[in-house]
Amino acid sequence: MNLDPGLDRLASLEGFFALRTGRPPLRTGRPPLPTLAETYATPGVTAEPDEAESDHIDPDHVDPGHIDPDDIDPDDIEFDPLTFRVDKVVRLLAAPEERVGASVAQQGLAARLWSVALGAAVLYGQVPDLDPRLLRWDADGSAPDDLWLSRVRALPGDAATIRRLVQHGHLEPLSAALRARHPVAAGLLWGNAASALASAARLLDGWAAAHGRADLGGRARALAAELLDHPDLRDTGTLDGTDFRRRSCCLYYRVPGGGVCGDCCFTRAPRS
């Protein structure tokens, strides 16, 4: 089944799976929402891509983390959406340290991106092009992260394409950007990414079972298993069907009243 222009079937799953399409509404007195390519760029620097040029992005030759210094407008060196998001998470959770905010913020984005790609692959057999230059993000939005896809372009719904789009196109530059700004470990972030992927597969499997579509549940499990079989993700935990036990901790236990997550390596919160 081909992707529909509004990704309506995907939206029917709601939550982390739904993805709005088109341009986000203009906000009075505020700049346009940044793209995720801008978000992953040098700390404190954004560069607005040319819209006409973005019509001709070659999905096989994407360098999501590269911003040409000649394209940077000095007037744009004033707002860092990623740092803003981490600071907001730290404030809302009353987290005792910024690496907790960085971990939670990263896991939220990872969950959104895996869910959209995996959900589309399962429902349509295709995935929308999730090039970071096509996705705008509201760093001040609530959870699930507020994402807008500027145009819907269908790509194959196989694991190799999903890995290129999500793991290489987003999670790698996101991890690099966060670690350039905050003292957070790479292994923790990859553990978050694996946990988010397993969670997306588990939700899809449950939805498929509830709707009598065991074939779609099997598709979700197979894709998740193939995606997790990568050097960056393979040793982050153990997958059994859609049950995942990670070997790292996202640090949520350090949030007041947070406790441990269902797939945490700890069975109880460590003592501070």
**pLDDT at position 78, please?**
62
- pLDDT, tens digit, 9 for 90 and up, residues 242-271: 888 988 888 877 888 878 787 777 777 776
- pLDDT, tens digit, 9 for 90 and up, residues 175-215: 999 999 999 999 999 999 999 999 999 999 999 999 999 99
**pLDDT at position 61, please?**
37
How many angstroms separate the CA atoms of 142 and 139, rounded? 8
* CA-CA-CA-CA torsion sign (113, 118, 249, 108): positive
Distances (CA, A) of 134 to 27, 51, 91, 182, 257: 19, 10, 29, 26, 37
Give 241's contacts (C-beta < 8 A, 6+ positions apart).
205, 221
Contact, 194 vs 237, CB < 8 A? Answer: yes
**pLDDT at position 240, please?**
86
User: What whole-number percentage of the chain has pLDDT above 90?
Assistant: 66
How many angstroms separate the CA atoms of 10 and 14, rounded? 7
DSSP secondary structure string for all residues of 143-206: SSPEEEESS--EEE-SHHHHIIIIIIIIIHHHHHHHHHHS---HHHHHHHHHHHHHHHHHHHHH
How many angstroms separate the CA atoms of 34 and 42, rounded? 13
User: Measuring CA to CA, which residue among 216, 234, 235 is closest to residue 225?
Assistant: 234
- pLDDT, tens digit, 9 for 90 and up, residues 20-74: 999 888 777 778 899 999 999 955 444 444 333 334 334 333 333 333 434 434 4
**pLDDT at position 258, please?**
78
Rounded to a whole number of angstroms, the distance between the first and last alpha carbons of the chain is 51
Mean pLDDT, to the nearest integer, of 237-246?
A: 88
**pLDDT at position 45, please?**
46
Q: Name the DSSP letter for residue 267.
A: S
Q: Is the pLDDT of residue 159 over 90?
A: yes
Give 211's contacts (C-beta < 8 A, 6+ positions apart).
none
User: In the chain, which ranges are continuous DSSP H helix?
Assistant: 8-11, 36-39, 51-54, 81-93, 98-124, 159-162, 172-181, 186-210, 214-228
Strand order in the sheet with 146-149: 20-21, 146-149, 135-138
